[in-house]
């Protein structure tokens, strides 16, 4: 299923927001969640599991939940990038270990 960004998002009881981001599991490289931004003030962004998406049609995403259920989902909070050291094999340099930094967006829970 393709999840369009900046698409209208509809709950079972009406239009609830727009799709802002998709969140991916870096190990499986699969989309796990969708970030939906409310269309009404205070424009909270919620983390919606992909299992809550019933279908996507053109520029519209339909959810299996009501607006009230959406508001009970975890809010998405953007934070700064986090650096994590990960080993990198360097066979061209005698098989020694090197390091590189992997930046990713973290979620504040």
Number of domains in the chain: 2
Quick one: CA torsion of 66, 47, 16, 1, rounded to 10 degrees?
A: -90
pLDDT score for 102: 40
Burial 25-50 (b: 16+ CB within 10 A, else e): eeeeeeeebbbbbbeeeeebbbbbee
Domain co-membership, 13 together with 61: yes
10-residue mean pLDDT profile of the chain (109 residues): values are 91 96 86 93 94 93 97 86 51 44 42
- Domain with residue 32: its CATH number is 2.30.30.240
Asked if 4 and 40 sit in the same domain, the reply is yes
Do residues 47 and 17 share a domain?
yes
DSSP string, 1-33: ----TT-EEEETTEEEEEEEEEEEETTTTEEEE
What pLDDT sits at residue 83?
53
Q: Are residues 31 and 59 in the same domain?
A: yes
Domain residues for the domain of 10 are 1-76
**53 and 89 co-located in one domain:** no
Please tell me whether residues 57 and 71 are part of one structural domain: yes
pLDDT at 98: 43
Using DSSP's 3-state secondary structure scheme, residue 59 falls into coil
pTM to 2 decimals?
0.70
């Amino acid at each position: 299923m393709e999840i369009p960004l900046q698409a209208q998002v509809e709950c079972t009881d009406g239009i609830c927001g727009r799709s802002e981001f998709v969140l991916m599991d870096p190990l499986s490289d699969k989309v796990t969640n969708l970030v939906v931004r409310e269309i009404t003030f205070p424009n909270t962004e919620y983390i919606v599991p992909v299992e809550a998406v019933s279908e996507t049609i053109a520029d519209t995403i339909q959810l299996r939940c009501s607006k009230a259920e959406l508001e009970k989902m975890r809010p998405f909070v953007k934070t700064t990038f986090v650096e994590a050291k990960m080993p990198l094999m360097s066979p061209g340099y005698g098989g020694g270990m090197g390091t590189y930094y992997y930046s990713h967006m973290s979620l504040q829970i």
